[in-house]
Structure 1
């Protein structure tokens, strides 16, 4: 028991907070690089088309970045509390700390920050991630946390999400995360398809693809909300209770789904009401006029020898 000079044997060294989520950072940097690349070539677009392309590309990149980024975000269901709680097992010492619980599609993130950070001759600043992806074992990660001797508040909250917990939170949020993630990837595929179709003379199908993108994004939100609406087990840390609510990722995904429905509905409506205005916004007016003719427009074939021969010009009416 004195191996670590008075420190309990399960705590050989101070813990340190985990870094920023690397996959989320990569997604943000990739889409920012795409946006920066477009802004560099934007001055080369002439006329009012420049602003139309600016709105189109930035809106499209925002939608795509949001659909991908929320997969790696832990801000779907969040809760925080300031409390006085026990710190280590087999010890009566207590600390003042800020405890945070963040539930994402892939797992649970739990934070513990001392107020102040330096207490009991230690730096109390923890950020632990427990995942339930298909190739991850949540119970094994929790067992590893026990072996490392993480503080009591972290272990208490992580234990509530283990498969063996009577609360049943693991199966609820595990399934909700999988269904929401699957529908979001389908939404991402429809987002790619909408970009391709809107760049072709097929705005109607591009608008329908946008509608499908918004629909699947909303399906993901409803799948997660249907499970998280079930009341959590009482989570008490010391004398305080931790209450959770929907986080930023949930609301941003909901807003993105509604935005896609509005944009898709606008494209479909303009296709039937004002197709010329839609082609102008999509910068397809010149392309359409050069490749397609209006229905019933006469095509005149001039005779180069009409002055000598006296033959009239030949007129052909096209029906496309």
Structure 2
């Protein structure tokens, strides 16, 4: 078996792991989990879509929009690209060092954190492979300061510390950290409200599609209000960070534009469905409804109700026949002629000696 078990080994011995196997961060696990979850749901829908024979267009558009908006809300809550900036710098790796290194630095601001990346460019690879991705949270008032001190203690590269300092100081005009934290907090609250409306919309779409359209409108408005809230609460003086002579100007990232796009799409879809339902009642439908194509389907019930009304109208029209109207009037007169004698005697104080009760049956008793 020689040559089988000693493949890729030196001198036939066991594999020697004499080097560090650490790799740089290539993706956010939480975002990948969200993409996989919603992608699995959408792929499962695409697998069953060829078997759909009715309401194909409305079903496809509704499911696609629902999955897209739900994924957008979850990604926006976890994402790090609400406000971003990248730049190429010539800086030192550590403080007070004279060696200059060409590197790329980026700041990616989320609702509750900021990711700062630092990657040495290939022309400066004589110092080795250097790539950092540090995340600083500000979920609590003093959490950013704590993370900043931990970064200093660990010996984080000087450019990362320089950029993080803009968000950790809350005095002498350095108030960007507080304002970004406030903007992220209220934007996250509105996103959670949007997620609640989105969940309610999904339930209404399978129960009462008309109300599901109203839920779409509310969800879209909440998502648009999220963008408005974040924009209004951003620092009035835009953050311009200086790192070793390079300038980082922050602009809106794809998380912001994704929420805006999804909100507009959901609002527009809700308005369109509402208008269609007002012009053509009960015409909008998808196969995702609970009672679709069953005896309890709302379309079947509506058709049966129309059939019942038409039958009643035909019966009423049949009473216009002279003979039937004469018979019916005679029956009504005979029913009015029946008088409860016992009730009359009781009202006028007349006692009936023949009966023990003040009430007598209105019809004559048959002899036994």
TM-score, structure 2 normalization? 0.72
Q: Which residue of 2 aligns with 1:289?
A: 299
Cα RMSD (Å) of the superposition? 2.9
Q: Indicate whether 1:69 and 2:79 are aligned.
A: no
Distance 1:86 1:14 in 2: 25
Unmatched 5+ stretches in structure 2: 1-19, 316-323, 325-368
Distance 1:88 1:157 in 2: 14
Contact 1:96 1:114 in 2 (8 A): yes
Q: Which residue of 1 aligns with 2:211?
A: 205
Q: Which residue of 2 aligns with 1:142?
A: 148
Unmatched 5+ stretches in structure 1: 1-12, 304-311, 313-320
CA deviations on 1:280-315 (whole Å, 9 max, x unpaired) are 798788522322324983246999xxxxxxxx9xxx
Contact 2:239 2:250 in 1 (8 A): no
The structural deviation recorded for 1:207 is 1.4
Contact 1:18 1:128 in 2 (8 A): no
CA deviations on 1:47-104 (whole Å, 9 max, x unpaired) are 4x23332221111100111111111111110111112122212311111111111111
CA deviations on 1:140-196 (whole Å, 9 max, x unpaired) are 111111011111110011111014454111110111111111111111111111121
CA deviations on 1:189-212 (whole Å, 9 max, x unpaired) are 111111211212x23321111111
SS at match of 2:136: strand
Q: Which residue of 1 aligns with 2:199?
A: 192
4+ residue segments displaced more than 6 Å: 280-285
Contact 1:110 1:128 in 2 (8 A): yes
SS at match of 1:68: helix
SS at match of 1:297: helix
The structural deviation recorded for 1:136 is 8.3
Distance 2:240 2:21 in 1: 30
Contact 2:179 2:235 in 1 (8 A): no
TM-score, structure 1 normalization? 0.82
Q: Which residue of 1 aligns with 2:332?
A: none
Of residues 22, 26, 29, the one that matches 2:33 is: 26
Matched residue pairs, number?
A: 290
Contact 1:176 1:224 in 2 (8 A): yes
The structural deviation recorded for 1:44 is 2.7
Contact 1:76 1:249 in 2 (8 A): yes
Higher RCO (Cα < 8 Å, 6 or more apart): 1
Q: Which residue of 1 aligns with 2:358?
A: none
The structural deviation recorded for 1:24 is 1.0
The structural deviation recorded for 1:275 is 2.1
